[in-house]
Amino acid sequence: MKETAVKTRGLTKRFGTFTAVDRVDLEISRGEIFGFLGPNGSGKTTTIRMLCGLLSPSEGEGFILGMDISAEGEKIREDIGYMSQKFSLYSDLSVMENLKFYSGMYSLGPKTSSSRIGELIKLSNLEGMENELASNLSSGVRQRLALCCSILHEPSILFLDEPTSGVDPAGRRNFWKIIYFLAEKGTTIMVTTHFMDEAEHCDRLGLMYSGQLLACDTPEDLKKELPGHLFSINTENPVTLLEHIRDSNEGIIDAYLYGRSVRILTRGKKLLIPGEMPSEKIKPSLQDVFVHYVREGRKTERNAA
C-alpha cells in the first residue's frame, strides 16, 4: 500500500453565500504527480490554499501527511512547498540574493543554505546566472528560480499553482524535467495547469468544475471512461455543420468544435449524418475529456437553475 500524502473528505469553502469548493474528496499518494485541471474560477487555487493551511475550510476535512489542515497549518507549512500563482521574486535582487533571502525565510543555517542553493542552481540550470537581476530573466528562467525558492527546505509535498503559465514550450519542458526529478526522489506534487500536454504527463488528474471534482483518474483511464464513440469531421464550415448536428441528431451525446474540425460523441458505433461527409472514428484526447466534463458540468448547472 502506498502511503497517503494528501487526503480530503467533503472539503468545502464558502465565501459568503458563494461556494468556491464543493465537497471535494481527494486522495493523493506519496511520490505521485497529481494534475489539477479546470477552467478559471473552478476552485483550484482555493483548494490548494486550504491544503496548505492558509485558508480554513467551511466544512469537511483535510490531512497532509496525517496533519489536520484546520488545526496544524503551521506544522504543515514546514513540510510543504507552495509556489502560488502570484509567487513573488524580488525583481531588484539577483538570482543568488533571492535564493539567499528565501533560505533565510526557511531559517536554513549558512552551511545548509549554501549547499542547498548550489544543488538547486545546478538542478535547474541556473549556472552562470547567479548575478542576474530577477527582473532581467526570461519567464521560463524566472519560474525555475521561483521553484527553487519554494523547495529550498526540501519539502515532501509541493503545490504548484499554474507554474508554467506564460512560459514558452522549451521553458515548460525544462520546468517539467525538474518536476520529474523531484517526483522520482519521492516528492509528492500537486500541480495546476492549462496545458493538456503537461496534464498528459501527470500520474493522475483531477478535473474541477464549479467547485466540484467531476472526475479523478489516470489520463489513460479518463480517456477510456469517456462515454460513447468519438468521431471527427474536417470541414470548411465547422460552425454550420455543428449547428446542423446539434439541431437534427438523435443518438448524439455531444458535439463541439475542436480546432478546425467538429467532434461528435455518439451513443452508437455509427455516426449517421446526412450528406457524404467523411468522418473518422478517433480515440479521445485529454482535451476531449476535459471538454466533455466541462460541458456536462454546465448542463447540470443549467438544469439546476
Ligand X SMILES: Nc1ncnc2c1ncn2[C@@H]1O[C@H](COP(=O)(O)OP(=O)(O)O)[C@@H](O)[C@H]1O
Nearer to Mg ion, 8 or 45 (CB): 45
CB 206 within 8 A of CB 216: yes
Q: How far is the CB of 193 from Mg ion (least distance, A)?
A: 11
Report which of 73, 22, 77, 79 is spatially closest to residue 46, judged by C-alpha positions.
22
Taking the complex as a whole, the smallest distance from the CB of residue 12 to ligand X amounts, in Å, to: 12
Q: Which residues of 157-169 are buried (b: 16+ CB within 10 A; e: fewer)?
A: bbbbbbbbeebee
Residues 233, 234, 236, CA angle at the centre, nearest 5°? 130
Is 40 within 8 Å of 28 (Cβ atoms)? Answer: no
Task: Say if strands 33-37 and 188-192 run parallel, antiparallel, or are unpaired.
Answer: parallel
Residue 193 contacts Mg ion per CB under 5 A: no
Selection from 28, 17, 21, 78 nearest residue 49 by Cα: 21
Q: Which is nearer to Mg ion, 44 or 263 (CB)?
A: 44
Instruction: Compute the least distance from the CB of residue 161 to Mg ion, in Å.
Output: 6
String of contacts with ligand X for each residue 13-52, x by CB under 6 A: --x----x-----------------x-xxxxxxx------
Contact map string, positions 39 to 68, toward Mg ion, x by CB under 5 A: -----xx-----------------------
Task: Using CB under 6 A, count the residues that bind ligand X.
Answer: 10
Closest approach of ligand X to the CB of residue 121, in Å? 30
Binding site for ligand X (CB under 6 A): 15, 20, 38, 40-46
